[in-house]
Structure 1
Amino acid sequence: MNQTIEELITFLSTPQKIIITMHRDPDADALGSSLGWASYLIRKGHDVTVISPTEYAANLNWLPGMEYVLVYEKAADQRNCKRKIDEATLICCLDFSALSRLKDLGKVVQEANAIKMMIDHHLEPEHFAKWMIWDTYAAATAQLVYALIKEMEPDKQTIEIFDISMAECLYAGIMTDTGSFRHANVTPEVHLAVADLMLTGFDTSRIHRLIYDNAPLSRLQFLGYVLSQKLTVIPEFRTAYMVLTEAELLKFNSSTGETEGIVNYGLQVENVVMSALFIERKGEVKMSFRSVGLFSVRDLASSHFSGGGHKNAAGGRSEQSVKETVERFLSVLPSYQQSLLSVD
C-alpha cells in the first residue's frame, strides 16, 4: 500500500466534511465515479456533498444518488455550495486535472482551506492537490475509484464493500469511457474490475439501455438533422466535422448533454481518421475531437484550442465566433495532413 493511500486511510478514520466535484458538463464517468466514491464515503460515516459545476445530461438522471447532486451554476444552489465548501475538510476532484475545468467553481475550490484530493486519468495534471490518485493508463476515473476502494479494504470481499448502487455508478463510468469496451484503452484490468463489480448482481444491459437507448424523440430528430445537413467530410485530410450554432440548438430545443456522442458518428465514415464537433453555446464554442489509431487529437486540441484530454478523445474551447473557430481549425489541417494520411 503506497504512502498516499495510507495517509488517506488515516485521515478518513475520523468523520470528515467532504466535497466531491467533477469537470463541467459532466459525463457518465465524471458523475459515476463521483457518486460511487460518495456512496463509499457515506457508508464510512462521512458528511458528503456532490457538486457539479454545470448542468448534466438528462440520460444520467437515473444514476443512484443524482437527486442529491448540487449544481453550482444554478442560482438556487450556489450559496449552499459555497457554504458547504467553506465548511469542508476535504475536497475530492474527480475526472479532471486542471481547476479551469470547473468553470466558475474553480476559483472557489482553489481558495478553499480544505485539503484537496485528485482522482483522475488525464495527462499533465496541475499540482493543486495534496493527494493524487492519478494514472493515465486507467480507462476511466471510475476504474481508479474501484481500485482505490479495493486497496483501502484489503481484507474484505467485493460484496462486502460494494452494493448494487455503487457498482452501477462505477460500471456506467467504465462502460462509457471505453466506448462500451471497444476502445483501445480496454485492458485485462478493465474486464477484471467489471467482472468483480458484477458480483453485486446489477443488470449490465439495463445500464446500457438507460444511457444509450433512452433518448426523447426530439434528440433522434436532432441527430438526423446533424448527420444529414451538418456533416462535412474532407477526404484529403481524412477528416469529418460538424458545426452547430446556438440558433440551431434553440430550434431543436437541445439541452445540455444531448450533443454528447455525436462527434463519434464522423468516425463511422469510410476512411475518416479524425472527427470534430463545434458547438456554439453561451458565448463560447465548445469543441470535441475524436480520432483512431496513432493520430493524437489531444496534441491538436492543446496546441490550437486551449484544450486537452486523451490521444483519441479530446476537447477544446474558443471565445472566438464559431465561424472564426472553424476557419482556424481548417487552417491548421494542412500541417497535420501527413500524420492523418499515415494512419492505418
Structure 2
Amino acid sequence: MTNKDISRVKELLEGNKKIVIVPHKGPDGDAMGSTLALKILLEHLDHYVQLIAPNDYPNFLKWMPYQDEVLIYDRDPKKCDDYIAEADVIFTLDFNHLSRAGEMYKPLKGAKASFIMIDHHQQPDDYAEVTYSDVSMCSTCQMVYHFIENIGLDEKITPQIATCLYTGIMTDTGSFRYRSTTSLTHRVIADLIDKGADNTSIHENIFDTSSYGQLQLLGCALQNLKVVEGLRTAYITLSQEELDRHNFKKGDTEGFVNYGLSLEGIVFAAIFIENEAEKIVKISFRSKGTFSVNDFARRYFDGGGHINAAGGKSDLSLQETVDKFISILPTYKKNLAL
C-alpha cells in the first residue's frame, strides 16, 4: 500500500461508519477468513459492519468465529441490497472485478459507498477508490494482515482474528506447500500463532471433518482420473449423476484437483464438474513451475486466477468440455511435452 492509500483508508474509517464486506461468489477459506477477520477488527473499532457473501460456502468453514453473522445474498437479496445502498464504505476481498460477486454485481455497481479492494489475483479492475493489489502474495488473508499493520492496528489482532487469517493463508497455500509461500508468509503465520491461532485445531477443523459420502466421492473421482500421455497432464471428471449418488454438498470436491497434480511427472491438472442447475461445467486448474493456468483459463474457459491455480467454466456438455480441453493441449506441446 502507498502512503496515499494508507492515509485515505484512515480518512474513510474516521468516525462510526456503516461498512459492508463482500467476498467472491463461491467463497473459499481465503475469502471467508479475510472477510471475517476484517469484520471482527472493524467492529472492535465501533463501526457497524455487515458481511454479505454472494452465496453459501462449505460446511468445513462454518466453525470459524462470527460466521453465524454472515448474510447470504441469494437467500435474502432485498435485505442485503438495503445494506449495500446504505453503506458508507464497501470492502471487496479476494476478487478484483465486481462480476465475481455474482448476483451482487448490480447493487454493488450502483452503490454510492467508497470501495476498498484487497486482492491478490491478476489484472485488477479499477472500480475501487483504494486498491491494494499484490499478485505476489499467497493469499488475501496475508494481505489483510499487512493491511492491518499498515494502518497501525496490528496490536488489535485478537485470537479470533488470528484464527481467521491463519485459516485463509493455510488453505490458499495448500498447507504452505505452494510456490507463493514465502519466508514472510511463515513469519506472518508465526505471529498469528503467537497472537492466539491454534494451528492444530484449525487443521483438524478443515481437514478432519469429511463425510462418508465425500470420501466415497473422492474414490469415484480417482476412478475417473485420466492421464494425457506425452503431455504431462491429468484430469478428473465428475458428472451430476455421480455427485448425486454420493450426496454431494458444497465444498466436497475441495482439493480433488490436486490428486492429479500429485502424480509423478504431471505438471498440469484439471477437474471438470458438471452442474446441471447452472447448466455449466465448473473447472479447476492447477500446475507446477512456469505453466500459467491463469492464462489458459482466461483464454479458453472464461476464467482466471493465479499462475499455478485458476478456475473456469464451460457452457458445453461435460464430454464436449473434456474434448475441447484435450484438443487444446497440443498447442502447449513445448510447455508440456516430456
Q: TM-score range by the shorter chain?
A: over 0.9
Whole-angstrom CA distance in 1 between matches of 2:309 and 2:66: 28
What do the CA deviations read for 1:236-289 (whole angstroms, capped 9, x no partner)?
111111111222211111111111110011011121111101111121111100
Whole-angstrom CA distance in 2 between matches of 1:120 and 1:208: 24
In the alignment, what sits opposite 2:206? Answer: 211
Q: CA deviation at 1:334?
A: 0.5
Whole-angstrom CA distance in 2 between matches of 1:251 and 1:112: 42
In the alignment, what sits opposite 1:334? Answer: 330
Whole-angstrom CA distance in 2 between matches of 1:27 and 1:252: 22
Q: Which runs of 4+ in 1 moved over 4 A?
A: none
Q: CA deviation at 1:91?
A: 1.0
What do the CA deviations read for 1:143-201 (whole angstroms, capped 9, x no partner)?
010001111116xxx5x311111000000011111111111111121011111111123
Structure 2 unaligned spans of 5+: none
1:178 aligns with 2:173: yes
Q: CA deviation at 1:341?
A: 2.5
Whole-angstrom CA distance in 2 between matches of 1:260 and 1:203: 22
Q: Normalising by structure 2, what TM-score?
A: 0.96
In the alignment, what sits opposite 2:79? Answer: 80
In the alignment, what sits opposite 2:98? Answer: 99
In the alignment, what sits opposite 1:28? Answer: 29
Is the CA contact 1:297–1:312 (under 8 Å) kept in the aligned structure 2?
yes
- The alignment of Structure 1 onto Structure 2 pairs a total of residues equal to 335
In the alignment, what sits opposite 1:49? Answer: 50
Whole-angstrom CA distance in 2 between matches of 1:176 and 1:149: 20
Find the partner of 1:202 among 181, 197, 200. 197
Whole-angstrom CA distance in 1 between matches of 2:323 and 2:228: 14
In the alignment, what sits opposite 2:250? Answer: 256
Is the CA contact 1:235–1:272 (under 8 Å) kept in the aligned structure 2?
no
1:114 aligns with 2:108: no
Corresponding letter in the other structure for 1:314: A
Whole-angstrom CA distance in 1 between matches of 2:329 and 2:337: 11
1:235 aligns with 2:229: yes
Whole-angstrom CA distance in 1 between matches of 2:32 and 2:244: 26
Structure 1 unaligned spans of 5+: none
Whole-angstrom CA distance in 1 between matches of 2:108 and 2:36: 19
What do the CA deviations read for 1:175-234 (whole angstroms, capped 9, x no partner)?
111111111111121011111111123310110111111111211111111112x11111
Whole-angstrom CA distance in 2 between matches of 1:109 and 1:60: 25
Q: Secondary structure at the match of 2:252?
A: coil
In the alignment, what sits opposite 1:15? Answer: 16
Percent of matched pairs sharing the same residue: 43
Could you tell which deviates more after superposition, 313-322 or 133-142?
313-322
Could you tell which deviates more after superposition, 30-39 or 95-104?
95-104
Find the partner of 2:265 among 268, 271, 275. 271
Corresponding letter in the other structure for 1:254: F
Q: Normalising by structure 1, what TM-score?
A: 0.95
Q: CA deviation at 1:235?
A: 2.1
Corresponding letter in the other structure for 1:41: L
Whole-angstrom CA distance in 2 between matches of 1:166 and 1:196: 12
Please tell me the root mean square deviation across aligned C-alpha atoms, in Å. 1.2
In the alignment, what sits opposite 1:6? Answer: 7
Corresponding letter in the other structure for 1:9: K
Is the CA contact 2:166–2:197 (under 8 Å) kept in the aligned structure 1?
no
Whole-angstrom CA distance in 2 between matches of 1:224 and 1:285: 20
Q: CA deviation at 1:79?
A: 1.6
Is the CA contact 1:175–1:181 (under 8 Å) kept in the aligned structure 2?
yes
Whole-angstrom CA distance in 2 between matches of 1:8 and 1:328: 46
Corresponding letter in the other structure for 1:294: T
Q: CA deviation at 1:90?
A: 1.0
Corresponding letter in the other structure for 2:117: M
